[in-house]
Amino acid sequence: MSAAAGERAERLRREIEAHNRAYYELDAPAISDAAYDALFRELQAIEAEYPELLTPGSPTRRVGGRPLAQFAAVAHDVPMLSIQTETDTGARGAEDFDARVRRELELPDGAPPVEFSAELKFDGLAVSLRYEHGVFMRGATRGDGLTGEDVTQNLRTVHDIPLHLKGDAPPLLEVRGEAYMRRDDLARYNEKAKARGEKPLVNPRNGAAGSIRQLDPAIAKSRPLRFFAYGIGAIEGWDAPATHRELLDALAAFGFPVCEHRVVVRGWQALADFHDCMGAQRARIPFDFDGVVYKVNSLALQNRLGFRSREPRWAVAHKYPAEEARTVVTAIEVQVGRTGALTPVAKLRPVFVGGVTVTNATLHNEDETRRKDVRVGDTVIVRRAGDVIPEVVSVVLDERPMSPSPNDPFARTPLHPPFELPATCPQCGSRVVREEGETIVRCSGGLVCPAQVKGALLHFAGRRTMDIEGLGDRLIEQLVAGGQVKTPADLYALTAPALAAMERMGEKSAENLVAAIEKSKAASLARFIFALGIRNVGESTAKDLARYFGKFETLQKADAAALESIPDVGPVVAASICDFFAEAYNREVIGRLIAAGVHWAESEGQADAPPGVFAGKVFVLTGTLPTLRRDDAKTLIEGAGGKVSASVSRKTDYVVAGEEAGSKLDKAGELGVAILDEAGLLQLLQGDCQ
């Protein structure tokens, strides 16, 4: 072997690893694909010529070897345990775990709270990675906990998994963690797979588990797999740190990805807060987690607690309520919204899902209902994630009610026909129309349609619009049915005696309602604009319009060009606004509202500082954000009316945490302050949540 070849191979390896980091971790490739390929091929050629130079940690090994006939068995020196799951998905789950730990440790009442480390329960596949003298030697699945499968070839293709450890690596270190897929990576992968005519992956969890268990490493390599470390197995020649938190920090220092959403807290209340806080952010975090995991932070206490059968006493999984459940569609109704949109809604046999009992689920629109082919009598999978409206995900076709076909006694046909939207509005009988290129079918009845009138009134009186307390669904229904109210302006003519004469309405409530209606006359311009219910004008657009035009009259006179000069207002929104004000009927209602005394403080206009989506909110920034510099983040927050403070306290509304966030993040967890990552901050800035 030539010494020059050995040196060249070593240089190439270092160079290729650096380019891999730039590409996969920093998302900032430093050279072209062709130049990278040239380096890679040169290294492959040297290793082919001098096989003794081929190291287990060489980046060429990420390409994977030949397909296997079957996986070899791997005996785990330290068993891979499972975790007990708390049955209660509420705060009680955290309380029960804490109580068990205190009892097992024989802590007297009044002893200080136990310190816990809390992290996410990733929804992927558990794997164990074995490093000898800092080099990745073998990767295995959990199997039955004692014996797993050797999936080294596949794990080598996962770029998150270091082939070489950074720093001073011990003779033996087994790292345990989760192989998983991000939802956005999966969506991108599936798009390409479909374009190639391949079957898409069902979900991130199956995607991860299925990819790791492929005999052909080329398949695993084509899948966007990632890894988070959360513990260790066998070790030799390494003084493990004293706490779980420091253990994870040490793994991060060796080069393993460790999830940033983790805190160290004392006592069960803070655990329950972390559970809630992360639960609220689930949709914003780019990968799935089905709960959180609590671990006693001190490794000495973990040893004292020990195990019961295959589960440690020092850890527990505290899950979120299942988000999907099976039930039966008893009917399909068509609802008419305030803009006249017809929405098919499945009436369900009541089912407990996502923490509540669900009896209705949206089918979105006619196309979606047809695509999923949801019919009356079908058994369906219903999903309720977070506060999102429950929806029907799919039909369990095997359980569709069937009847014998009239022509052929052996054939069976579905008992119910495919769903079709009616040709007329179920509320007012007007014709329904579907504009070209639109998926939404609308009632053409306008304010003849009681559903649209009721919807418009409910929107006008809502908490985020004119905020008329006590004017709810049922009362509006009565007022519209009785003919007292046809437009929002009619609300201001209601009197206490007239209201008191209505069913289920006492004198006191009638007076309160009149007072609430009176109070609503002093609105803000943004609320008033939003309250009008202009199509395509949501709360944040209404705020932009108020801020930009300052006066209602100026907005009313604005043409499409003036409207489109506002960021985020495009031709569609501008046209909706122009159409709205061009309608004589709308101008009349506005005139009557103003005549009734509705007014607004013009101070929300340009003259005064913009209140912004973050008005009154206090933020703390910690750690390094993936793309924003700290100054940029501060400018964005302040631009939206928020304040950036240096330390976390009970007054903090949000902690924005990046890589290597430290004690501020822990403090946020302790105080139950909402924690955001950069993506969460940007989403919040757009007014998407809260």
Cβ-based nearer residue to ligand IVH, 305 or 573: 305
In whole angstroms, the minimum distance from the beta carbon of 297 to ligand IVH comes to 13
267 three-state secondary structure: coil
Cβ-based nearer residue to ligand IVH, 6 or 143: 143
**What is the C-alpha separation between 560 and 571, in angstroms, rounded?**
7
Cβ-contact 537, 578 below 8 angstroms: no
Pairing, β 342-353 against β 391-395:
unpaired
DSSP, residue by residue, 69-87: SSPPEEE-SS------B-S
In whole angstroms, the minimum distance from the beta carbon of 76 to ligand IVH comes to 12
DSSP, residue by residue, 300-331: HHHHHH-EETTEETTEEEEEPPPSEEEEEEEE
Cβ-based nearer residue to ligand IVH, 125 or 491: 125
In whole angstroms, the minimum distance from the beta carbon of 622 to ligand IVH comes to 21
Tokens of 48: 């082919």
Cβ-based nearer residue to ligand IVH, 16 or 179: 179
Among the listed residues 121, 295, 319, 454, the single catalytic one is 121
In whole angstroms, the minimum distance from the beta carbon of 662 to ligand IVH comes to 20
**What is the C-alpha separation between 390 and 357, in angstroms, rounded?**
10
Residues forming contacts to ligand IVH in the complex (CB under 6 A) are: 81-83, 119-122, 126, 178, 230-231, 293, 312, 315
In whole angstroms, the minimum distance from the beta carbon of 262 to ligand IVH comes to 8
Cβ-contact 614, 538 below 8 angstroms: no
Q: Which residue has the tokens 């907005």?
A: 555
Q: Which residue is nearest to ligand IVH (CB)?
A: 126
Contacts of 353 (CB under 8 A, 6+ apart): 321, 322, 323, 324, 325, 382, 383, 384, 390
**What is the C-alpha separation between 330 and 347, in angstroms, rounded?**
6
Q: How far is CA 363 from CA 10, 331, 394, in A?
A: 59, 12, 10
In whole angstroms, the minimum distance from the beta carbon of 383 to ligand IVH comes to 22
DSSP, residue by residue, 433-486: EE-TT-S-EEETTGGGSHHHHHHHHHHHHSTTTT--TT--HHHHHHHHHTTS-S
Cβ-based nearer residue to ligand IVH, 126 or 655: 126
Nearest to 486, CA basis, from 447, 430, 431, 513? 447
Nearest to 416, CA basis, from 398, 399, 404, 402? 402
Q: Is 166 a catalytic residue?
A: no
Cβ-based nearer residue to ligand IVH, 22 or 240: 240
Cβ-based nearer residue to ligand IVH, 291 or 658: 291
In whole angstroms, the minimum distance from the beta carbon of 87 to ligand IVH comes to 15
Give the number of C-alpha atoms closer than 13 A to the C-alpha of residue 41, restricted to the C-beta side. Answer: 6
In whole angstroms, the minimum distance from the beta carbon of 678 to ligand IVH comes to 22
Cβ-based nearer residue to ligand IVH, 78 or 609: 78
In whole angstroms, the minimum distance from the beta carbon of 556 to ligand IVH comes to 56
Contacts of 181 (CB under 8 A, 6+ apart): 124, 189, 201, 204, 205, 207, 208, 211, 223, 224, 225, 226, 287
Give the number of C-alpha atoms closer than 13 A to the C-alpha of residue 545, restricted to the C-beta side. Answer: 35
Cβ-contact 641, 610 below 8 angstroms: yes
Amino acid at 21: R
Cβ-based nearer residue to ligand IVH, 122 or 530: 122
Contacts of 258 (CB under 8 A, 6+ apart): 228, 229, 230, 248, 249, 251, 252
Looking at the annotation, which residues are catalytic?
Answer: 121
